[in-house]
Amino acid sequence: MSTGQVEQHSLKRVIGRRVLLLFVVGDILGAGIYALVGKVAGHVGGALWLPFLVAFVLAALTATAYAELVGKYPQAAGAALYVNKAFGIPFVTFIVAFTVMMSGITSASAAARAFGGRYLAEFVTLPVLVGAFIFLALVALVNFAGISESVKVNVALTIIEAFGLLVIVAIGIFALFSGDGEPARAIEFHPANGAFLGVLGGTALAFYALLGFEDSVNLAEEAKNPQKDFPRALFGGLIVAAVIYMAVAFTATMLVDTKTLMESSGPLLEVVKVAGLAFPPKLFALIALLAVGNTALINMLMASRLVYGMARQRIIPPFFGTVHPTRSTPWIAIVFTIAIAAILVSTGDVAPLADTTVLLLLLVFALVNVCVLILRRDDVGHDHYRAPTWAPVLGAVVCLFLALPLTGRGADIYLRAAALIGLGVVLWFINWIFVGRVTQVDPTKITPED
Residues 6+ apart with CB under 8 A from 235: 60, 63, 67
pLDDT at 330: 82
C-beta separation of 69 from 82 below 8 A: yes
Q: Which residues of 114-142 are buried (b: 16+ CB within 10 A; e: fewer)?
A: bbbbbbbbbeeeeebeebbbbbbeebbee
C-beta separation of 303 from 107 below 8 A: no
Whether residue 252 is predicted with pLDDT greater than 60 in this model: the reply is: yes
- The CATH number of the domain holding residue 152 is 1.20.1740.10
Whether residue 31 is predicted with pLDDT greater than 80 in this model: the reply is: no
| pLDDT classification of 371: cutoffs 50, 70, 90 | very high
Whether residue 28 is predicted with pLDDT greater than 60 in this model: the reply is: yes
Whether residue 292 is predicted with pLDDT greater than 90 in this model: the reply is: no
| pLDDT classification of 152: cutoffs 50, 70, 90 | low
Whether residue 3 is predicted with pLDDT greater than 70 in this model: the reply is: no
Is residue 121 one of the residues assigned to a domain?
yes
What type of residue sits at position 341? A
Whether residue 417 is predicted with pLDDT greater than 90 in this model: the reply is: yes
C-beta separation of 291 from 142 below 8 A: no
| Of 44-48, 221-225, 362-366, highest mean pLDDT | 362-366
Residues 6+ apart with CB under 8 A from 349: 113
Q: What is the DSSP letter of 417?
A: H
Is residue 65 one of the residues assigned to a domain?
yes
Residues 6+ apart with CB under 8 A from 319: 311, 332
Which range among 51-65, 114-128, 136-150, 221-235 shows the weakest confidence by mean pLDDT? 136-150
Which among 305, 320, 265, 340 is positioned nearest to 450, based on CA atoms?
Answer: 305
CA distances (Å), origin 6, targets 1, 69, 440, 441:
7, 22, 12, 11
Which among 353, 351, 347, 364 is positioned nearest to 402, based on CA atoms?
Answer: 364
pLDDT at 425: 92
Is residue 2 one of the residues assigned to a domain?
no
How many residues can be counted in the chain? Answer: 450
> How many Cβ atoms sit within 10 Å of the Cβ of residue 55?
26
Mean pLDDT throughout 98-127?
89
Whether residue 65 is predicted with pLDDT greater than 90 in this model: the reply is: yes
| pLDDT classification of 154: cutoffs 50, 70, 90 | low
Q: What span, in angstroms and rounded, lies between the C-alpha atoms of 112 and 341?
A: 9
Better-scored residue on pLDDT, 26 or 87? 87
Q: Which residues of 22-51 are buried (b: 16+ CB within 10 A; e: fewer)?
A: bbbbbbbbbbbbbbbbbbbbbbbbbbbbbb
Mean pLDDT throughout 222-247?
84
Rg of the chain (C-alpha set): 21
Whether residue 261 is predicted with pLDDT greater than 60 in this model: the reply is: yes
Which among 204, 166, 251, 163 is positioned nearest to 39, based on CA atoms?
Answer: 204
> How many Cβ atoms sit within 10 Å of the Cβ of residue 100?
22
Is residue 29 one of the residues assigned to a domain?
yes
171-197: pLDDT as tens digits: 989 888 887 878 888 777 776 666 677
Q: Which residues of 376-406 are buried (b: 16+ CB within 10 A; e: fewer)?
A: eeeeeeeebbebeeebbbbbbebbeebbeee
Is residue 1 one of the residues assigned to a domain?
no
Is residue 252 one of the residues assigned to a domain?
yes
Q: Residue 36's Cα: distance from chain center in Å?
A: 13
Q: Residue 43's Cα: distance from chain center in Å?
A: 21
Mean pLDDT throughout 68-90?
84
pLDDT at 170: 92
Q: What span, in angstroms and rounded, lies between the C-alpha atoms of 440 and 437?
A: 9
| pLDDT classification of 305: cutoffs 50, 70, 90 | confident
pLDDT at 395: 94
How high does pLDDT run on average in the chain? 82
Let me know the angle formed at the C-alpha of 223 by 222 and 226, rounded to the nearest 5 degrees. Answer: 130
pTM of the model: 0.86
Q: What span, in angstroms and rounded, lies between the C-alpha atoms of 389 and 372?
A: 9
Is residue 152 one of the residues assigned to a domain?
yes
Share of the chain above pLDDT 90, in %: 21
Q: What span, in angstroms and rounded, lies between the C-alpha atoms of 93 and 84?
A: 5
Q: What span, in angstroms and rounded, lies between the C-alpha atoms of 144 and 171?
A: 40
C-beta separation of 258 from 191 below 8 A: no
**How many domains does the chain fold into?**
1
Is residue 27 one of the residues assigned to a domain?
yes
Q: What span, in angstroms and rounded, lies between the C-alpha atoms of 58 and 242?
A: 12
Which among 308, 304, 285, 306 is positioned nearest to 296, based on CA atoms?
Answer: 304
Which range among 47-61, 64-78, 215-229, 370-384 shows the weakest confidence by mean pLDDT? 215-229
Mean pLDDT throughout 56-83?
86
Domain that includes residue 176, residue range: 13-445
